[in-house]
Structure 1
C-alpha cells in the first residue's frame, strides 16, 4: 500500500460559548484547523486534524501549519502509510522541528492504516481498556459570579470534573477557586490550571492560601525547574502539560519526580506515533495520563478518544470532547458523549465519517 494523494483543508471553528480566556489575558475566539486527507493506491482515505489554540498557547500557529503541510506532503507520496516510524523519520529529515505541522499527517496515516485493516484505531493503539472515558469541562477566566454560574451549569449537565483556569492575579485567582469550589457539590474533581502563567513565588502564594480546597495543581510555571521548586512544598498532586514536549522531557520529569500526572497533547508531540510511545512509557513509569490536543473538531476528538480508551483505566485521568466546543461540523458523526463520558465512534480507523462537502475547497492538493 502506497500514499497516492494528499489534500489539506483550512477550517475555522468558532467556539459555542464565545471567547476562551486563560492566564495573562490570552483569548481565542475559535480553533483554526488544518484537516488532511491521505489517500492510498487501494482507494482508502485516512483523515487527520490539528488546530493550535491561537498563536499563544503552544509553539504553534495556524498560518505555520498551513504553510508547512505543502512543504512536507510531496515527500510522502509513494510511501507506505503503515510505516509510522519511517514516516516520522522522513518528515523530521525533510522538515526540521515544528512537530505540530506533522501531527495531522501522522494522524491520517494511522487512520488510513486502521481503515485498510478494517479495525478501529483503538485496537492498533493497544486495545480498548474500557468502553467510555470520563470527561472534564473548563471554567474559563471571568468574574466570580460568571465562573460560579458556569461551574453550576456544568455540574447540572452531569459533568463531575472541572478544570478551573487560574494563572492571573494570585489574589483574584484565590477568590475564583474558592468561589467555584463552594458552588459545586463536595467530591467534584477540580484541577487548577495556570497554563504556566505564574512565577514560583506566585504559585506558592496560591498553594498556601488554598490548602483547604481539594484540587490538583496543573502546570503552574513555565520551566521544569520552576515547577519543581513549587512541587517541593506542595501537599497536592501536580500534573504537567506544557512541559511535556518529547519523550526526553517526559523522562526528565520522571527522573526528577516533578509530577504525578501528565497531559499529552497530540499536536505538541508531533502526532499519534509519538503520543502513543510517550503514553506507553509514562504508564509503565506510573504516571496518571490525560490524552488530548490543543483543539479541533470531530476528527481530532476521535483520535483523542481512541488514545484515551487504549490507556489503562487505572492510569487514565480524563478526556475532553472538543467537538462540542465548536459551532461547525466536519463529519456526519462524532465521538459519542453520554452525560460525562465519551466513547469512540463505531467503524474502522477513527470511525469518523468525514464529509468533504463541509470542509470547502482544499488549499493544497498533490498526487
Structure 2
C-alpha cells in the first residue's frame, strides 16, 4: 500500500452574487485542487483557495509547492500512516499553509475513504452536519435589509454582516437590519480590518449604546497590529474575534499572551489543515478562549472539510461555513441554517 500520485488542477467557480467586503469584491472562487491517489486507485481531495488579502498565496505558488516538495515527500509512503505523512508535509517547506492545508485535507479524505468512513468519523465524531451563519456582503441599507430578510426566510438564524467599508454609515445600517429581523436572530459583524482602533471603539460603543445585541465583532483593526486589536478588546464589552491576525499556533499564543481578542476564527487555509486546526482548538480551550471554524471564499471541498471538523469536534459558537452557499451550483446542501454533510465515505464530495 503506497501513495502512487499527487496531482493538481485549477478550479474557477462562479458565485451567484458578488461577495463584497472591506478588503475586496469577489465574483469567483479560485482554488488549487489537490488529488492524492493510492496504488489501488483510491483518491482523496483537498483545496487551497487563492485569497490574496488574507493568505497572500497565489494559485501558481500553491500549485508549485504541491507539485514539487510536498509531492516528493508523499510518493511511495503508506497512506494509512496519517500522522507521519502530516509531519512530512509540515516540515517539507516553510509557510505555504494553503498548499499544506490542501494536502492535509486530501490525506484525511484518502485515509477515511480507505477505511470506508466519513472524515467526521475519522476525527472521532458522529454528527452529520453543522449549523452555520450566512454572510451579508457590505452594501447599502436597503440591500442589507433585503438580503437579511431573504436569509431569515430561508431558515438562517445567525447573520454575519460585513462592515468597515463605510465606517460613518455602519451604525445606521446595522440598526436597520436589527429592526427588520427582530431580536431572535443573532447578528455578528466582520470589519475585515476596516477600522482604526479609535473608530472601532467608537462604533462598537454606539452598537452597545443602541442595544443592538451584537454577538461579536470580527477583526476590527489591521491584522499586523495586535496592539490595536488589544486596545479595542480592552475598551469594549462586545466580544472581539481575531481572524486575519490569527493564522498559526504562534499567532494564537501571542493573541492570548497580549489578551488581544476574546475569540479566534480558525480557517484551514490559514493554519495548514485539519490537524493544525485541532491543535488550535486545544490551545483555545486551555485558555478559555472562544473559537469558531471559518471558511474562505472557497469551494465545496474546503467547506466540506471545515464542516466535517465542526461536526466532529464542535466549537464555542456557530461556525462560518457558508462559502459553498455562494456558488452558482453548490454541491453541498444548506437546510434551514445547517450544512448537511454528504453520506459517503471521506468528505463525500468530488472535485
Q: Calculate the TM-score normalised by the size of structure 1.
A: 0.87
SS of residue paired to 1:191: strand
Structure 1 pair 283/198, CA: closer, same or farther in 2 (3 Å)?
same
1:36-71 alpha-carbon deviations (Å, 9 max, x no partner): 110112332111122123x22332233322333222
Please give the alpha-carbon distance, in whole angstroms, between the structure 2 residues aligned to 1:302 and 1:66.
21
> What is the aligned partner in structure 1 of residue 327 from structure 2?
326
Matched, 1:20 2:19: yes
> Equivalent of 1:102, from 100, 105, 108?
100
> What is the aligned partner in structure 1 of residue 179 from structure 2?
182
> Equivalent of 2:50, from 46, 49, 52?
52
Taking the TM superposition and a 5 Å limit, the aligned residue runs for 1:29-178 are: 29-53=27-51, 55-72=52-69, 73-128=71-126, 130-178=127-175
Please give the alpha-carbon distance, in whole angstroms, between the structure 2 residues aligned to 1:125 and 1:279.
13
> What is the aligned partner in structure 2 of residue 194 from structure 1?
191
Structure 1 pair 62/43, CA: closer, same or farther in 2 (3 Å)?
closer
Structure 1 pair 281/82, CA: closer, same or farther in 2 (3 Å)?
farther
> What is the aligned partner in structure 2 of residue 362 from structure 1?
none
Please give the alpha-carbon distance, in whole angstroms, between the structure 2 residues aligned to 1:287 and 1:124.
26
Please give the alpha-carbon distance, in whole angstroms, between the structure 2 residues aligned to 1:184 and 1:270.
37
SS of residue paired to 2:16: coil
Please give the alpha-carbon distance, in whole angstroms, between the structure 2 residues aligned to 1:79 and 1:146.
52
1:170-216 alpha-carbon deviations (Å, 9 max, x no partner): 21222222222222121211111111222101111211222121111
Deviates more, 1:69-78 or 1:299-308: 69-78
1:292–1:319 contact (8 Å) kept in structure 2? yes
> What is the aligned partner in structure 1 of residue 249 from structure 2?
247
Matched, 1:8 2:5: no
1:84–1:106 contact (8 Å) kept in structure 2? no
Please give the alpha-carbon distance, in whole angstroms, between the structure 2 residues aligned to 1:207 and 1:339.
29
Please give the alpha-carbon distance, in whole angstroms, between the structure 1 residues aligned to 2:322 and 2:292.
13
1:304–1:319 contact (8 Å) kept in structure 2? no
Structure 1 pair 230/349, CA: closer, same or farther in 2 (3 Å)?
same
Structure 1 pair 327/171, CA: closer, same or farther in 2 (3 Å)?
same
> Equivalent of 2:206, from 187, 204, 209?
209
2:325–2:334 contact (8 Å) kept in structure 1? no
Structure 1 pair 312/301, CA: closer, same or farther in 2 (3 Å)?
closer
Shift of 1:309: 0.9
Stretches of 4+ moved more than 6 A in 1?
Answer: none
Please give the alpha-carbon distance, in whole angstroms, between the structure 2 residues aligned to 1:111 and 1:34.
16
Aligned length: 345
2:200–2:220 contact (8 Å) kept in structure 1? yes
1:79-128 alpha-carbon deviations (Å, 9 max, x no partner): 23344443344334432212112211111001111111222111222323
Deviates more, 1:235-244 or 1:224-233: 235-244
| Aligned residues: CA RMSD | 2.0
Please give the alpha-carbon distance, in whole angstroms, between the structure 2 residues aligned to 1:100 and 1:265.
10
> What is the aligned partner in structure 1 of residue 277 from structure 2?
275
Q: Calculate the TM-score normalised by the size of structure 2.
A: 0.91
1:277-309 alpha-carbon deviations (Å, 9 max, x no partner): 212332343333221331322221210111111
